Structure 1
Amino acid sequence: MVATKSFDYVVVGAGTAGCVLATRLSENPGVSVALLEAGGESGPESMHSPNAMEAFGLWGSPVDWAYATTPQAGTGGTVHAWPRGKVLGGSSSINGMVHRRGHRSSFDAWEAQGATGWSYDTLLPFLKRSESTQSRDPRFRGTDGPMRIEAGSDPTPLDEAMYQAALESGHAASADGNGEQDEGVAWGETNVVADRRQSAADAYLRPALARPNLTVITHAHVRRLLLDGTRCRGAEYVADGTVHTVAADREVILSAGAVGSPQLLLLSGIGPAAHLQDVGIPVRADLPGVGENLHDHLLSWVSYRAKQPVPAGPSRQAYVLARSAEGVDPDVQLSFTRAALEPLWAGADPDGFSVLFSVVTPASRGSLRLRSADPTAHPLIDPAYLTDDADVDRMVTALSMARRLAAADALAQWRGAELLPGSDVLDEDACRAYVRATAATYFHPVGTCRIGVDALAVVDPQLRVRGIEALRVADASVMPSVVSANTNAAVLGIAERATQLVEEPAFGTASD
C-alpha cells in the first residue's frame, strides 16, 4: 500500500458534479483539493463530436461503465443498458449534449418532500452561475458561467415543420425553454462550442488544471471510504494494481453519480444493515435509504415514413413540455428526431421521422444493491420501470399526444405511413402493450442518496450524509425526484450550490 497523501478536500468522481466541485473549491488558493476519477483523461475522437447520435457508439467503450439493469418485468423482461461516463466529465462526456433544466415545479417538489432550501427560487442563482448565454433574460439565465450554452444549428425545413406542428396541436410557444416560461414548445439548447462537445471537464476542470492546489488522479478506482468511528477520514483506491489511500482533513465529497455514490457508501458499510450483513460488509452506519428511491425517465416514440427526402446535416430539435391532464404539473416531454426509430434503440431509418414521448415525473421507484462485497462488481440496478400503473396510463396518454402532434397539417408534406406503433395499435390495451414493449431509458437515473429529513433520507439539506461526519454527496443521486427534463443542467446547479454549502455552511446561498 502506498503511503497516504493528505488534502483539505477529496472529491470522488470527476463527472459533471465532481468537475464543478473540484474547480470551484480550488478557486480558494488556501485549500488543497484532490479529485479521483476511475476513468482516463479523455477518450476517442468521437467523444468530442457535436453529433449526439455518435454518443451511441461510445456505449460499451472504455469511457463507459457499461452498466445494465436487472430484467424489468414492467418492460417485458428487458435488460436495459445503462451507459455512464467513465472519463473526466463523466456522463457529460458521452451524453446527448442537451441543456434543459426542468420546470420550476420539479425543484419546488424537492422542498415539499423535505429538501429544505432546494426550491426553484433558491436554486436559480446556482443554475445561472453555471452557464453563459447570449440574448437571454438575465433574470433567469446566466451570462458569465463556465458552461457556454448554444442555440445550435439553424432548423431544417423538417425541424420547422415539427415546431409548427407542436403549435398547431395546442402547445404554446416558449421563447426560452430554460427561462421564465418553460412550458410549451421551445427550441433546444446544447452544450456544443465551436462544433465540439463541451463536457463539464471542458468547461470547468481543464481551465483549472494548472492550479498548484488541485490534484487530479485518473485511473483511480475508489474501493471504499476510510472511517474513523463516525468520521470520514479519506478514501482508498486502486491505481495500476496498487492500493493507495488519500486523506481529507476537512471533508470527502462523493460525486460518483446515481450508481457510483450509493455503491461506494454500501461498500464502506453505510446503508441498510440487513443488506450489508447479507453481502458480508461490516455495518458502520445503518442508513436504510441508501440505494432506495432509484428512478429514471423512460421514453417511447411514434415513427413515420417520410414522403420526401429528409434533410441531411446538422439539425435543431424542438422540445415540448406539457401536462397529461388538467391540474397536474408538467409531466410529459415530446421531442423530435429526423429518423424512424426501431424498438429499443436497435437502429433508425433515415427516410423518416419520429416523435419521442416521455413521462418526466415517473411514480415508479426501484433500488440499487450490491451484487457482492467485491468493489469491482457492478451493482444490481433495478429501476422498477413501469411498476406503477399510473406511469403506464400517462405513457399511453403521451402516445396519443405524440400522434396528435404528428397528425398536424404542418407535417402533411412530410408524413407518410405510420411505422410504429402502426395502424393496428389503437385501443388502450394495444397501446399499453406497445409502451411496455418499446419503452427505453432516457439515461437520467437519480434519487439513490436523496435529500430529506425523514428516516429514509440519505443526506440532509446541507448534503451531509446522516450519521457520518465530514462526508457529503453532491450529484444526481441526491435528487428526491427527477426533474422534468434532461438532468445534466440540474446537476450543474446542485454542484454549484454544494460548493457554497461546503465553503459557507451557515449560508449556502448565491448572489445573482
Structure 2
Amino acid sequence: MTRTLTHDYVVVGAGTAGCVVAARLTEDGARTVLLVEAGAPDSSPRITTPHTWPALHGTDVDWAFRTVRQRATGHVHDIPRGRTVGGTGSTNAMAFLRGDPGDFDTWARQGCTGWDYASVLPYFRRSETAPHGDARYRGGSGPLRPAPSASLHPLSRTYLEAAQEAGHPLTEDLNGPKLRGASSHDLLIADGRRQSTATAYLEPALGRPGLDLLPRALVQRLTFDGDRCTGLDAVVDGEPVHCAAGTEVVLCAGAIGSPHLLLRSGVGPAEEIERSGVKALHDLPGVGRNLQDHIILAGLTTPSRGPLPPPSGNLGEVTLLLDSEPGRASVDLQIVFIHVPFTNPWQRAPEYGYTFGVGHMRPASRGRLTLASADPEAPPLLDFRYLDQAQDLRALVAGVRHALEIGRTAPFDAWRGAEHPLVGADDRAVETFVRDAVQSYGHAAGSCRMGVDALSVVDPHLRVHGLTGLRVADASIMPEIVSTNTNAATVMIGEKAADLLRGRDRAES
C-alpha cells in the first residue's frame, strides 16, 4: 500500500539550492514544505573535515556518475555528485566564487529578465556574512560565512608571490567588483569545518513545524493531472510513497538529477523519450541539452625536493583568474594551486609534489544528457563532449603555459625538485597532455536552460514551459555556465527561486 504525504511544496533534492529553497519558504510559517533527498544525512568527520574531500568520491555519498567515452580525450570520466543531505556542497572542494558580473548580464541579454548582475547581487549578499569584503558587494547577515583560509599553507603563500612575479595582479576579493587576478579566495570553511547550505540553512530550520525532510527517497517519477504537476512517486527504504504537492513541485536535483527526472517522467524530447521505453507526456526538446561543465587539468604536478608541510584547508586555498588571450570580455581560465599531487587514475604522479590545476571556465563545447533506459535506478547517459570545440583546447594550452611560467619563478626555487617535463615543449606536445589530463571540475550546468526560445526548459520565473505547478531551481537552469566554481551561483539561484515562489520578482531590501 502506498503511503501519501501532502504538503504545499515538494522540493526534490536537499542539495545546495534545495536546502536554501526549503529553509526560505518556511521562514514565516505560511507554507508546508517536504524536502525529498535520495541520500542520508551525514555530519561525520569524513564530510566536515576540509582536506579529506577527495576521499568522498566513489563512496556511498557520491552518485558516482560517469561519462560515455569522450571522443576528444579517449577516456571515460568520473562525474562526482553528492548523494547526501547538502548534495555536492557536502562533498566538493568548498570554493566559494560567484562568477563575473558579466556572466549574469549575459543571461539577461538572452531574455532572462531579472537575472542581470544588479538584480542578482542582493541575493548573493543575502546568502552570506562576509565582513572582510566591501559592503556594497558583500553581505553582512546571511547564513553562510565564506572567508579566505585562516592560515595559508606555506606553498600557497609561495604561489601568490610567484603569480605576482609572473605579472599577474593580486586581488583582495574575487567576489568583489573585479574578478581577474590571484587571491586567497573565499572558502566555505567555518571554525575549521566544512560549511554547506545543509549546515547553514537547513539544520537551523528543521525544527519548524512546516518543514519535513524525507531522506533515502529515490524518486521514481513526477505525477501529473493534465498539464499540472501534482507531486511525485518515490521509494523510501523499499516502501512506495506518494508525495503530493498542493501548490508546486520544485526540482533542485542538480544539472544531472533534474533533467534525468524530467525525462523519465515523460517531459522532454518526445521521440527520444519513447525510444527509451517511457511514455512521452510533454514534448520539450531542450531537456538534457546545453549540458556544460568546467574542465580542470590533472597531472600538471611538479616534483618537490622532498616531503612537504602537512596539507591544510581544502588543499587548494589560492587561485588565479585570467584570460587565455588579451582582450576577452570575461575571464576564461582559473589556475588553482593544489599543494599535493593531483592526477587522473591513468596518470603517474611523483611521490612528493604540488600541482597547478588549470581550469577552463568558459567552455564553448556543449553536451547532452539522455536516458539509458526507463529504469529509474539506471544512471543517464552523459556526453559532455569535452574539447569538442577547438577554442577550448587552445584556451587550455594557454593555461598550461601560464602555469609553467609561474612554476619557474624564483619563489618556487626552494621547493622545486625538478622541472616539469612540459617546460619547453611545443604546442603539439602540450595539446597531447591536455587531452590526457582532462578531468571534470564537478560543475555540471545548463541542462534545463532558462530562456524564452524553443530550446529553453524554464522561463525567467523558473517555471517549466508548457506545464503548471513545476519549477526547476539549480545549476541546470544556467543558460551559460558561470566563469568560476558554480556553488555560490547555485546558492543565489536558490535564494531567488524562494522569492519567486513567494511571488516576489526582486529581492526586498
TM-score by length of 1: 0.95
Alignment-mate amino acid for residue 20 of structure 1: V
Deviation per residue, 1:311-352 (Å, 9 max, x gap) = 224257221111111221211111101123334586754622
Cα displacement (A) at 1:422 = 3.4
Q: Determine whether 1:186 maps to 2:186.
A: no
For the structure 1 residues 37 and 229, does the alpha-carbon distance in structure 2 shift closer, same or farther, using more than 3 Å as the test? same
Alignment-mate amino acid for residue 277 of structure 1: E
Partner of 1:317: 317
1:372-391 equivalence runs, <5 A: 372-391=373-392
Partner of 2:357: 356
Whether contact under 8 Å (1:70, 1:381) holds in the other structure is: yes
Whether contact under 8 Å (1:108, 1:118) holds in the other structure is: yes
Distance in 1 between the 2:349 and 2:495 partners? 38
Distance in 2 between the 1:395 and 1:433 partners? 11
SS of 2:417's partner is: strand
Deviation per residue, 1:185-214 (Å, 9 max, x gap) = 111221111211112111110111110111
SS of 2:337's partner is: strand
Cα displacement (A) at 1:97 = 1.0
Distance in 2 between the 1:200 and 1:292 partners? 28
Partner of 2:464: 465
SS of 2:72's partner is: helix
Alignment-mate amino acid for residue 490 of structure 2: V
Distance in 2 between the 1:402 and 1:459 partners? 39
Flag structure 1 segments of 5+ consecutive residues without an equivalent: none
SS of 2:398's partner is: helix
1:91-490 equivalence runs, <5 A: 91-301=88-298, 302-307=300-305, 309-315=307-313, 317-328=317-328, 329-344=330-345, 349=350, 351-419=352-420, 421-423=421-423, 426-490=425-489
Whether contact under 8 Å (1:153, 1:314) holds in the other structure is: no
Distance in 1 between the 2:254 and 2:106 partners? 21
Flag structure 2 segments of 5+ consecutive residues without an equivalent: none
Deviation per residue, 1:116-147 (Å, 9 max, x gap) = 22112111110111111122111111111111
Whether contact under 8 Å (1:43, 1:87) holds in the other structure is: no
Partner of 1:35: 35
For the structure 1 residues 417 and 255, does the alpha-carbon distance in structure 2 shift closer, same or farther, using more than 3 Å as the test? same
Distance in 2 between the 1:376 and 1:337 partners? 35
SS of 1:495's partner is: helix
For the structure 1 residues 72 and 140, does the alpha-carbon distance in structure 2 shift closer, same or farther, using more than 3 Å as the test? same
Cα displacement (A) at 1:5 = 2.4
Whether contact under 8 Å (2:311, 2:339) holds in the other structure is: no
Cα displacement (A) at 1:115 = 1.9
SS of 2:418's partner is: strand
Distance in 2 between the 1:161 and 1:488 partners? 27
Whether contact under 8 Å (1:344, 1:438) holds in the other structure is: no
Alignment-mate amino acid for residue 377 of structure 2: T
Cα displacement (A) at 1:303 = 2.0
For the structure 1 residues 243 and 340, does the alpha-carbon distance in structure 2 shift closer, same or farther, using more than 3 Å as the test? closer
Whether contact under 8 Å (2:17, 2:491) holds in the other structure is: yes
Deviation per residue, 1:64-87 (Å, 9 max, x gap) = 1111111111112x1111111111
Instruction: Tell which deviates more after alignment, 146-155 or 183-192.
Output: 146-155
Alignment-mate amino acid for residue 94 of structure 1: T
Whether contact under 8 Å (1:344, 1:439) holds in the other structure is: no
Distance in 2 between the 1:383 and 1:218 partners? 29
Distance in 2 between the 1:50 and 1:167 partners? 27
Choose from 84, 92, 95 the match for 1:87.
84
SS of 2:419's partner is: strand
Partner of 1:66: 64
SS of 1:74's partner is: coil
Partner of 2:17: 17
SS of 1:237's partner is: strand
Cα displacement (A) at 1:398 = 0.9
Alignment-mate amino acid for residue 180 of structure 2: E
Distance in 1 between the 2:153 and 2:32 partners? 49
Distance in 1 between the 2:508 and 2:347 partners? 46
What's the % identity of the aligned pairs? 43
Distance in 2 between the 1:436 and 1:417 partners? 23
SS of 1:416's partner is: coil
Cα displacement (A) at 1:271 = 0.1
Deviation per residue, 1:458-509 (Å, 9 max, x gap) = 00011000001010000010011111111111100010000001101xx421
TM-score by length of 2: 0.96
Cα displacement (A) at 1:409 = 2.2
Distance in 1 between the 2:21 and 2:344 partners? 38
Distance in 2 between the 1:70 and 1:246 partners? 33
Distance in 2 between the 1:343 and 1:224 partners? 35
Whether contact under 8 Å (2:335, 2:357) holds in the other structure is: yes
For the structure 1 residues 501 and 240, does the alpha-carbon distance in structure 2 shift closer, same or farther, using more than 3 Å as the test? same
Partner of 1:495: 494
SS of 2:292's partner is: coil
Deviation per residue, 1:401-436 (Å, 9 max, x gap) = 1111112222222223134x534x711111111100
For the structure 1 residues 339 and 41, does the alpha-carbon distance in structure 2 shift closer, same or farther, using more than 3 Å as the test? closer
Tell me how many residue pairs correspond in the alignment.
505
Cα displacement (A) at 1:228 = 0.5
SS of 2:22's partner is: helix
Cα displacement (A) at 1:215 = 0.9
Alignment-mate amino acid for residue 339 of structure 2: R
Distance in 1 between the 2:480 and 2:497 partners? 18
SS of 1:225's partner is: strand
SS of 2:296's partner is: strand
Distance in 1 between the 2:366 and 2:257 partners? 18
Distance in 2 between the 1:474 and 1:138 partners? 27
Cα displacement (A) at 1:18 = 0.5
Moved over 6 A (4+): none
Alignment-mate amino acid for residue 307 of structure 1: R
Distance in 1 between the 2:311 and 2:259 partners? 41
Instruction: Tell which deviates more after alignment, 129-138 or 202-211.
Output: 129-138
Cα displacement (A) at 1:167 = 1.1
Instruction: Tell which deviates more after alignment, 447-456 or 183-192.
Output: 183-192
* CA RMSD in angstroms, aligned pairs only: 1.6
Distance in 1 between the 2:142 and 2:279 partners? 43
